[in-house]
Amino acid sequence: MLKIAVVILNWNGEALLEKFLPSVTAFSKEADIYVADNASTDNSIAFLKKQYPEIKIIQNSSNGGYAKGYNDALPQIKADVYCLLNSDVEVTQDWLSPITEEFLNNSKAAIIQPKILDYKNKTHFEYAGAAGGFIDKFGYPFCRGRIFQELEQDLGQYNDKKEIFWATGACMFIKSDVFHQLQGFDEDYFAHQEEIDLCWRAKNNGYHVYYVGSSKIYHLGGSTLSNMDPKKTFLNFRNSLFSILKNLPPKKGIPILGLRLFLDGVAGVRFVFQGKPQHCWAILRAHLSFYKHFNTMFKKREKRNFMGTYYTTKSIVWSHFVHNVRKFNILIKN
């Protein structure tokens, strides 16, 4: 039997804990539940101690974001599998059983994510993860069930088990020994896309990432940064560049980074025409930050076997904005 630890990262999230912990405690009896607190200044800790004395609390000394928060907390937890769960997630009855079964029956599985539906619109997939993540040749992420801002209705089309490229940090199950072997998340990301980097590094080291559609959760999303917050635009564009530099061999990565300069420029111009110049500025700052940290990130590259074909489609940007592809299944047919 696997020992699973559900670990919720919290920072000043008392209201979210009050709203979403009831489902987690009700439907996770076979797991140990932890809250890793990133030095909250609200009433989160007092609330937990009073209302949920059975939940174990790990108090981090600072708010180091998603990456450092989990890196600091997880070494203190003994479990076979960590479930990294956002504080704004409603879980469903028996959500853990399909995940546990997949780990037990599939020796290749190192990382797994469930189906992620929208808490505010429960018939549709949610932005962060949907039915499993992929990237295109240029490192742009997308999901089954979500391409850019286009969210599919859940009609059972992804009620399967499938190997994917990346699992969402909103709800990621990862074997503890794999997490520690990979030395956890890259803290220079701070937040956003650090899970893509972790999964990419896992794949480069011979591990596999899966989606299990028979496990279902509902994610509120945007509780830290909304999808259209300029700060999130900055982090997503910069951290995507970090991942390409770190995880592709130079003969592939350097040319792609050159093309990304052009494609990100096009995205910036598009934001200007949409009346969102602050997002254009965020992309420019992302590139400046990337160049500033280039040597640091390049040195993080390990001597390992880089995986072969890592992408599902050559350009999700071209498919979506030129050919108007809005669903993953259509993308595959093309």
For 27-76, the pLDDT digits (tens) are 999 999 999 999 999 999 999 999 999 999 999 999 999 999 999 999 99
For the residues 262-275, what does the mean pLDDT come to? 92
For tokens 């992929």, what's the residue? 134
Q: pLDDT for 304-314, tens place per residue?
A: 667 777 898 89
For the residues 94-114, what does the mean pLDDT come to? 97
Strand partners, 209: 111, 164
Identity of residue 97: S
In the chain, the percentage of residues whose pLDDT exceeds 70 is 96
Average model confidence (pLDDT) for the chain?
94
Strand partners, 215: none
Residue 233 pLDDT exceeds 90? yes
Residue scoring higher pLDDT (58 or 253): 58
Beta strand 81-85 with 31-38 is unpaired
How many angstroms separate the Cα of 65 from the Cα of each of 176, 187, 229, 239?
20, 8, 17, 14
Q: Write out the residue limits of the CATH 3.90.550.10 domain(s) in the chain.
A: 4-219
pLDDT of residue 307: 73
Q: Are 209 and 199 in contact (CB under 8 A)?
A: yes
The residues, any chain, with a CB within 8 Å of residue 132's CB and separated by 6 or more, are 113, 143, 144, 158, 162, 164, 165, 167, 211
For the residues 250-255, what does the mean pLDDT come to? 88
pLDDT of residue 331: 85
| Domain boundaries 4-219, corresponding CATH code | 3.90.550.10
pLDDT of residue 225: 55
